[in-house]
Amino acid sequence: MESPERPSEKSGSWTVTLVWMAPVLALVLILAYGWWTRPAPKPDLGPRVGEPLADFTFPDMDGRPVQLAALRGKVVFINVWTTWCPPCIEEMPTIQRLHEKLNPKGLVVLAINMDALGRQTVEPFLSKRRLTFPILLDPESQTERLYRTAGIPESFIVDKAGLLVEKVIGPRDWAHPEVIALFERLLASPHS
């Protein structure tokens, strides 16, 4: 026959449980309070329209350094791309037409390639497609960190003052009449 538990043993086990549970419960409550009352992080979305675009220097296909800050006073179109990206390939002919149409009027096109093999991969790609606009090489993907790019292609339109006018994620028809008109307005503006 089993003997009934004595009241002092039962209350003793509850005391031990409470001694261990109280600090754990307090810690959980403190952590929860800290989590719910922390300030919301401000998302860093990279470059913002109306603000200066961060400077960079990358080599062109001939190894000459090209610095964005040196182009102040010019309207600059920057396209970030790779040779293995189908949407990038899709928009390349329209960038070529944009370059052909507006480079004589002062538009600077800079296509920053982020292929890891750099020139080795890019040169055959350009030859096959007969692309003549300037290509800069960024095999270490510094542009991705500098501009917090969300993907490729990603493009930036910079006015003569060095301010970001528009950021475009994804492909676009860069030879579309509305796009050409935007660039022509920027080119005609004395200080954008």
Write down the pLDDT at residue 130. Answer: 94
- Can you tell me the distance from the alpha carbon of 88 to that of 86, in angstroms, rounded to the nearest whole number? 5
Q: What CATH number was assigned to the domain covering residues 57-188?
A: 3.40.30.10
Run of H or E residues at 168: strand 164-169
| Each residue's pLDDT tens digit, 41-84 | 555 567 888 899 999 999 999 999 999 999 999 999 999 999 99
- What residues contact residue 50 under an 8 Å CB cut-off, 6+ apart? 163, 164
> What residues in the chain have per-residue pLDDT under 70?
1-18, 20, 32, 35, 40-45, 192
Tell me if 106 sits within 8 A of 74, measured CB to CB.
Answer: yes
Local structure of residue 104 (DSSP, 8 states): G
